[in-house]
Structure 1
Amino acid sequence: MIADVLMDAALDSVKMLPFLLAAFLLMEWLEKYSGEYMNRLLAKVGHAGPLAGALLGCVPQCGFSVVAANLYAGGIITPGTILAVFLATSDEAVLILMGNPGRGREILWLLAAKVVIGTAAGYLIDTWIPERHSYEEDMERICADCGCHGHTHEHGKGHVFQAALHHTVSVFAYIFVFTGILNLAIELVGIEKLSAVLMGDSLLQPLLAALVGMIPNCASSVMLTQLYLSGAISFASAVAGLCTGAGLGLAVLFRMNEDKKESLKITGLLYAAGAVSGVVLSFFG
């Protein structure tokens, strides 16, 4: 049985490879050739910050939440703007869905939901928390740790293909491992029982998914997406978890922002926005 499960996981994962590589090539190209422009645009949008942050955040690239964390730590953007970026950040979930033909409508719904949630939450938070802009900050110093000025990857300066290949292999490994575990669980207990264990048809499921999404690693996005594709969690729960999944943005925020209580507040607001949005979406099926 284990051999069959592993074989199925391998076949399912291999089918996605061409789509993943193509998607990561596009992501790396966008990050290399438009990343600096987008980063500087975010720093100058003023009161349009939450809307701009949500729209820019949903563009598939891996470092935008990190950039936002640095800009916020430097006093360049508002709390609502960084929250909008975190909530809307597009990560491996979109690319995995792209690797499954016929999921185009779901990708659009997911991105639309994240942009709306990010924008609404961002403006709401900016009405409660005072601005802390400091446009005089030296952009070179603020961006020194995030690489948003002339961004490069550790695994190959300027080499779009190598970077895309690196990401593809990494995500492929996560997909293979988790698909194997998921297939084994379905084989042993069935999809209905697995969904019940994950609080299926319960308002608690989005709360749990939002908590999982906060793990600062792409494994959480892979896990949530695969659970959604298998039918173990609802679309609302997937949205909740993928909204709180800000990649390494939270880790960088805690590292760069001197006010740790403020960072904790942003973290709590991120979880609350994702969880509440998931619960609300649950009522719409």
Structure 2
Amino acid sequence: MELFLDVLSETLVDTAKMLPFLFLAYLFIEYVETRHGERIETLLAGGGRWGAVPGAVLGCVPQCGFSAIASNFYASRVITLGTLMAVYLSTSDEAIPLLVSMPAYWDKLILLLVIKVVYAVFVGFLLDFVLRKALPRSLRGGYTGHADEVDCHEEHSDEKGHPQPIWKAALRHTLEIFVFIFVFSLVFGLIVEGVGEDVFASVLGRMGFFQPVVAALVGLVPNCAASVLMTQLYVEGALRFSSLVAGLCTGAGVGLAVLWRVNPSWKQNLFITGLTWACGAAVGVGIQIVVAFIA
């Protein structure tokens, strides 16, 4: 009981410190999505074969909405495979507001965003220009650049259908993530204290080369819980930065789930899912090799 109370009090204090930063981050996100959502959708759809650039930048907006929009656009032949992958790889879901709430990790956040955007653009161009003729149309999709009707804009509404004030939506997101972080941190803290920090770190450390590969697999889970989980594991020292990058590159939120629902080609969906995992694992392993070489 004494151990539980110690971990509980420490967890409560640590997570409470995040609340102001977390709320401000979500307030900004809600403002951008509410005031400029339709304009951003138009920018994404109008990128053409160069859409990997706006796709990678827009994917960085810390919420899974744009990955869902990109999935709808791809299924409607509005964007290319490269643009879709750029959005997926640059999406970090809830990881960004979580890291924003921790000033000590702002330098890592900037590095993470730079790596993800550059890598997303690289993969997008590779698919749309270098490998475009090598990939059969049955896998890369039938891009046309336009569709008769695509409406992906979603407003936050209350139970009566009235638009919800952005501060209420931001507060709701903040509390939801706060509860998740608190529960995870409490459980994680009890496990670490019960098993022992050395034993827990040793298990994850023994994954070695395969840690980014496993993290990339976890990132495919179509839920914000995956990005929060990996970010917390990284903050706790259980995941390396290379594994965090790998997991967040595959963490396209509900984007893949939407793709499987709206895109009729199971071959394309399976190929894109596998490609997302492979790209995430590859960049994670690559960073791991570079770090080992420098060290």
Give the equivalent residue in structure 1 for 2:231.
225
Amino acid at match of 1:41: L
Alignment pair present for 1:274 and 2:241: no
Aligned residue type for 2:156: H
Deviation of 1:190 after TM superposition, in Å, equals 3.0
Instruction: Report what 2:260 is aligned to.
Output: 254
Partner of 2:197: 191
Given the alignment of the two structures, is residue 120 of structure 1 paired with residue 122 of structure 2, yes or no? yes
**TM-score, normalised via structure 1 length:** 0.93
Deviation at 1:173, TM superposition (A): 1.1
Deviates more, 1:2-11 or 1:211-220: 2-11
Q: Secondary structure at the match of 1:135?
A: coil
Task: Tell me the equivalent position of 1:11.
Answer: 13
Kept in 2, the 8 Å contact 1:54–1:119? The answer is: yes
Partner of 1:34: 36
Q: Which moved more, 1:26-35 or 1:121-130?
A: 121-130
Q: Does 1:71 align with 2:73?
A: yes
**TM-score after normalising by structure 2:** 0.90
CA distance in 1, matches of 2:229, 2:110: 20
Q: Distance in 1 between matches of 2:287 and 2:206?
A: 14
d(CA) in 2 for partners of 1:88, 1:180: 29
* CA contact 1:17–1:99 (8 Å) conserved in 2: yes
User: Bigger radius of gyration, 1 or 2?
Assistant: 2
Q: 1:152 aligns with which of 151, 155, 180?
A: 155
What's the counterpart of residue 137 of structure 1?
A: 147
Count residues with an aligned counterpart. Answer: 278
Equivalent residue letter for 2:285: V
Q: Which amino acid aligns with 2:47?
A: V
In the TM superposition, 1:89-128 aligns within 5 A as 89-126=91-128, 127-128=131-132
- Judge conservation of contact 1:32–1:158 (CA < 8 Å) in 2: no
Question: How far off is 1:102 after superposition?
Answer: 2.2
Gaps of 5+ in 2: none
What whole-Å deviation, never above 9, does each CA across 1:91-144 have from its counterpart, x for those lacking one? 211111111122221111010111112111122222244562233412xx322x
User: After TM superposition, which residue ranges in structure 1, 4 or more long, deviate above 4 angstroms?
Assistant: none
- Cα deviation per residue 1:204-226 (whole Å; 9 max; x = unaligned)? 00011111111111111111001
**Cα distance in 1, alignment partners of residues 57 and 179 from structure 2:** 30
- RMSD between superposed Cα atoms in Å: 1.6
* C-alpha distance in 2 between matches for 1:215 and 1:62: 12
Question: Partners in 2 of 1:272 and 1:24 — Cα distance?
Answer: 31
Cα displacement (A) at 1:90: 3.2
Percent of aligned pairs with the same residue?
Answer: 45
Q: Distance in 2 between matches of 1:40 and 1:221?
A: 27
Inter-partner Cα distance in structure 2 for 1:242 and 1:35: 23
Partner of 1:208: 214
Q: Give 1:208's aligned amino acid.
A: V
Distance 2:6 2:223 in 1: 29
> Which of residues 255, 264, 267 is equivalent to 2:270?
264
